[in-house]
Each structure stands twice: as structure tokens, then as C-alpha cells.
Amino acid sequence: MREFPVAAIRSVLLGVPDLAHAEAFYTGTWGLTVAARQGVTVYLRATGQDYHVLALQPHPTAEILSVSFRVSAQQHLYSIAASVAAAGGTIIAPSAPNSEPGGGMVLKVTSPEGYILHFHHGDAQHPSASIPANLPYRLSHVNLNCKDIEATSSFFQKILGFELTDRSKAMAFLSCNQDHHAVVLADSGLDGLNHVAFMMPDLESVMRGSGRMIDHGHSIGWGVGRHGPGDNVFAYFVDPFGFVIEYTAEVMQIADGYQPHGPDYWVWPPGRSDHWGIAPPKPAYVKDAQLAIRFASAK
């Protein structure tokens, strides 16, 4: 498969109003473990190689503070910085050694919409090990709300080098490796975070992880079901702070030459919203939560 400048989604940084509560939820229930603490921030890892997949920081309200990607070569940090600046984004911090746990080099930018995006190279990774069942092993994707989905989709493709893999009426699916999507853009009327998806080893793990959430008093918000574009299984939850989080698995693996389908193809029969036909309609509280989280600087 051809090499993309952005090689993978790595982690997200969330601002939470009660850090101790958030840490307890994401370790005791969601299935992550503490990789490091530095300053006011706690860094949580999944069972895969990424040094961390979620960082939590005290914040007055629940907000998304950044989304981090890994690039395939250090030179891409410089070319992305130049391209983002030329496209109307801003450079928060040019490529420099990263002082946070995981190290390596990091470039911090704001997209024209106000998304705060970090790009990493040479960051530490945990040794590869067997992947235990029922626990997240890495991030799968972020779904970002868009005020102008065509402009944002163009930014991700032309400036960051992502490839459009499918386009439904409401969403654009963007890939940077074998996964069908690492970023999904939602036509939402405002810019922000729709949800964060964590990759589970398999369908059984999505089910058992969902059972663990229910055991802890967190009912499934939407699902379990199997998506159209990407064909992945899903279970959505709203976390204690209002972030929408997803367990997913079995994401379609694609090769060069994958042919995107458009909105006319991605239409469900009446009454359906997943391939199996078992996911009930998405409740209003989940829809509302999917529109409630903004980037800290995007106000």
C-alpha cells in the first residue's frame, strides 16, 4: 500500500471538569491503564503499542483539547506545517522535541476550522505483545463535526494527504492507512468533536466491553450494530462528562485502488441504521451529546 504522510491516528487530549472521576472511569470501566503522569495531565494507554491513546487534563468544561496523529517521516512535520499555514491554519508550535511522555518530535497546528491537531514522529511505543480480549488496543478513529464538510474534507485530503474512502449523505470517511477510516467528518452545522472510537480486538470484545459498561451503570447509547461505510461493528456510549465514545472492531481493511461509493449508494432501507437491522434508533441524548463538544479554541 502507498505510504501516506500521516500514518495513523494516535491519541486525543480531553479536558474534563473532574480529573479523578475521569481517570477512574477510563481505567476502571472503559479499559485503559495509566501510562504516565506529568504536571496536571494523566496519560492512559490501551493494550497496543501506542504510548498513550487518551490524555486527560483538568478543564472548566468538557472540551477536546487536541487530536494527535503520527507521521511516517519527520520531513512530513515540516511540509504539513507549511501546507497548513498556506491553507489558512495557524502554527501553534513548530516542529520541536516533545516534552510530554512519549517524546519524539511534535508539530502543533490549528486547522482553518479551529481543530487543534498535533503531528508526532519518533514517539516511544510499547513493545508489541499479544492483544488481550475485551479491552481497547488503540484508537480507531475520531469523528469531527463540520460546519462546511466539503471544505474540511478538502483540507484533510489536499493539505494532510488523507484519502476519501466513502461519502454518505452526512459523512465523509477518510483513510491514511489500511483502515477504511481514521477520520470521519460529519455534516453537522458546527465544528467540534462528534465522537472518539477505540479499537477492540474483535466483535466478541465489543460485546463484552459493552457488558462491562452496563455492569458499571453505563447503558449502550446506540448499538450494538454494524456500520455501512467501513463495515465495522459499533457500540456508542456517552461518558460521565458528555463525550461520546465508541467501541468498534472489524473495520474494513482496504488496499490501493479502493473505490469510494457516494451518498446514493449508502442508503439504508426504511427503519434501519445498521447492516444487521438490530440497532434501535439513536436516542436524542446521544445525538445531542454528539454536537456538544467543541475544540477549546474554536469558540
User: Applying CB under 5 A, which residues contact Fe ion?
Assistant: 197, 246
CB of 115 to Fe ion, least distance (A): 17
CB of 198 to Fe ion, least distance (A): 10
C-beta of 182 vs 197, nearer to Fe ion: 197
C-beta of 111 vs 143, nearer to Fe ion: 143
C-beta of 43 vs 236, nearer to Fe ion: 236
67's CB contacts (< 8 A; 6+ apart) are: 9, 11, 12, 13, 115, 116, 117, 118, 142, 144
Helices and strands, number each (H, E), in the chain: 5, 16
CB of 64 to Fe ion, least distance (A): 15
C-beta of 181 vs 218, nearer to Fe ion: 181
- Report the residue number whose CB is nearest to Fe ion: 197
* Grid coordinates belonging to 152: 474540511
CB of 142 to Fe ion, least distance (A): 8
Contact 61, 14 (CB under 8 A): no
Residue 259 zone, left/alpha/beta (φ > 0; ψ -120 to 50; rest): beta
C-beta of 159 vs 197, nearer to Fe ion: 197
264 phi, psi to nearest 5 deg? -70, -25
> Terminal CA-to-CA distance of the chain, rounded, Å?
39
CB of 260 to Fe ion, least distance (A): 17
